Structure 1
Amino acid sequence: MDILTLILVSIPPGILGAIAGLGGGVILVPALVMIGVPVKYAIASSMVAVIATSSGSAAAYVRRKLTNIRVAMFLEVFTITGAIIGAALTVYIPPKPLYFIFGLFLTASLISMKERISEELPIVEKQDRISSWLKLEGDYLDEKLGVLVRYKLTNAIWGGLGMVFAGLAGGMLGIGAGIFKVSVFELILKMPSKPSSSTSNFIIGMTALAGASVYLFSGLIQTYFVAPIVAGMLIGSMIGARILNKLSNKTVRIIFIVVLLYSIIQMLYRGVTV
């Protein structure tokens, strides 16, 4: 397979990853396997490419104040904790039931997300005491609405526990778990879709560094595959970052729901066949 094919195949996952707040690996890995990349190299390359997706969109998102760094730093502690526990548990728990369990969890998230599909901005009438004390709030200029959107998050403790679960899923299944992180942001913390996507991407980039180092030392990161894949994902993520703020929160949520449905089917299928 030629380098140009690898680049072109990697661009769409980069775009979707930047818009939906996912690393893009959930779409990239199956696409790479379909064109003949061995699955172990596809997974390793995807982990490195996720860092590129995060980096490519991070600068634009931070500049536009879409990424809430305070929230990201608070939740990253919980995510890493879950990832460490998850990685340790994989030695003792077979993967088949895990895919099924996490698939059912995502199904519940899908049902809840569908109920909010027409909601442009979530309404938080009152923050809980811990969220207020931590100042889990922010604002951003919404180009689609043409207004400065101010938002406050709630349920800080439940959000932290949700991120432990997201990290657990990532550590046990070897995925970036962006699909879980965005669900926590929107359903528990009540964060608008645009900052939810951008903040999720920011967190994924940090956690992917640890995972990529493991693959590096195992010799699975091959330059021939990684270089063009990273280039494609980087191009895609920069395109996605430009697109995101021009979309409505409703549209971003619909895109996320489509990817969520795809992930559910994939996980439940693996839970039955792996």
Structure 2
Amino acid sequence: MLEFWILFVGAISAGLLGSLTGLGGGVVIIPILTLGFHIPVPYAVGASLISVIGTSSGSASAFVKEGYTNMRIGIFLEIATTFGAILGALAAGILDSNTIGIIFGLILMLTAVLGIRKKPDHQLDIIEDSWARKLKLYGSFPKNGKIAQYSSTNIFEGFAMMGFAGMMSGLLGIGGGVLKVLAMDNIMKLPFKVSTTTSNFMIGVTAAASAFIYFQRGEIIPEIAAPVLIGVVAGSFIGSKIFMKIKTHSLKVIFSLVAAALSVYMIYKGLTGKFH
């Protein structure tokens, strides 16, 4: 019973951080399950995918209502992430747990690096005859009490990165949020809050595509997934309420330092063959 509550509290923290950063709770849940509870990697990934769906469900609706999420861009990019997620889930059935642990550690290190540096906040004008214009990949969002217009660029480069993000989601159970935000911030040059909230909207669909394959393999255990899901939904709901009211930079710096330490340990365990 004590382990249940520890896991539940950890899941709340994961959902809160996932909602505030747009990275999904999986980057916290996987280390908690594998390092803290010594749960085999495939079962941890399966539970994490369920939690990622919960993160998206808990916060995405609030962000859509506030007018930050661009659903058209999200749905367009989900074509790539869904296909990638299926490939990643199939690859997870072939690779051993130690290899997956090493890959997760590397992605977690990337998460730490991206989290600690200042994010760009682009706001591009709509260019006539551009692919963004043709595909209507532009929009508006609330900014300083006004409605600001923006557009996107490098559409196909961003689409390719989304395919890779989906693959990492299906393989590692992390939602691929760090790569999604990277693609939308740095490649497609969307405003930061638009890319963060659109990432939250997308990760649930991406995770659902690969979670079905894990379910078919019997790697989603209700006793593990249930407390994780409930905690993450609660945490993501709290995060969606405070996202617009607080400055998250300090939180992201602390999170990045913890993520860097965890990534080193995950890589070490993978290299020494200590994952189940």
TM-score (normalizing by structure 2)? 0.80
Contact (CA 8 Å) 1:193, 1:253: kept in 2 or not? Answer: no
Residues 150/99 of structure 1: CA separation in 2 closer, same or farther (3 Å cut): farther
1:209 and 2:208 equivalent? Answer: yes
Give 3-state SS (helix, strand or coil) of 1:19's partner: helix
1:76 corresponding residue in structure 2: 78
- Cα 1:255/1:194, change in 2 over 3 Å: farther
Distance 2:122 2:104 in 1: 26
Q: Is the 8 A contact 2:46 2:173 kept in 1?
A: no
Residue 15 of structure 2 corresponds to residue 21 of structure 1: no
Deviations 1:96-155 (A, max 9, x none): 77877887788788778877x175x3142564710121121122224xx44433321111
Q: State the match for 1:195 in structure 2.
A: 194
Letter in 1 for 2:26: G
CA distance in 2, matches of 1:33, 1:58: 27
Distance 1:192 1:94, change over 3 A: same
Please give the alpha-carbon distance, in whole angstroms, between the structure 2 residues aligned to 1:97 and 1:35.
Answer: 19
- Quote how far apart the aligned CAs of 1:77 are: 0.8
Q: What is the distance in 2 between the residues matched to 1:258 and 1:210?
A: 31
Q: Structure 1: where are the runs of 5+ without partners?
A: none
Counterpart-to-counterpart distance in 2, 1:171 and 1:180: 13
Cα distance in structure 1, aligned partners of 2:262 and 2:147: 33
SS of residue matched to 1:227? helix
Aligned to 2:133: 132
Q: 1:226 and 1:96 mapped to 2: Cα distance?
A: 22
Cα distance, 1:247–1:168 mapped onto 2, change above 3 Å: same
Aligned twin of 1:62: 64
Question: How high is the sequence identity, in percent, across the aligned residues?
Answer: 37
CA RMSD, aligned part only? 3.4
The answer to whether the 8 A contact 1:87-1:172 is kept is yes
- Using the TM superposition, give the Cα deviation of residue 191 of structure 1 relative to its aligned residue in structure 2, in angstroms: 1.5
**Unaligned 5+ runs, structure 2:** none
Q: TM-score, normalised by structure 1?
A: 0.80
**Mean alpha-carbon deviation: is it higher for 100-109 or for 149-158?**
100-109
Matched letter for residue 43 of structure 1: V
User: What do the CA deviations read for 1:17-64 (whole angstroms, capped 9, x no partner)?
Assistant: 111112211111212334425234332211111111110001101101
> What amino acid is aligned across from residue 122 of structure 2 in structure 1?
P
State the alpha-carbon separation in 1 of the partners of residues 264 and 134 from structure 2: 40
Change in 2 beyond 3 A, CA 1:86/1:7: closer
The one-letter amino acid of 2:176's match is A
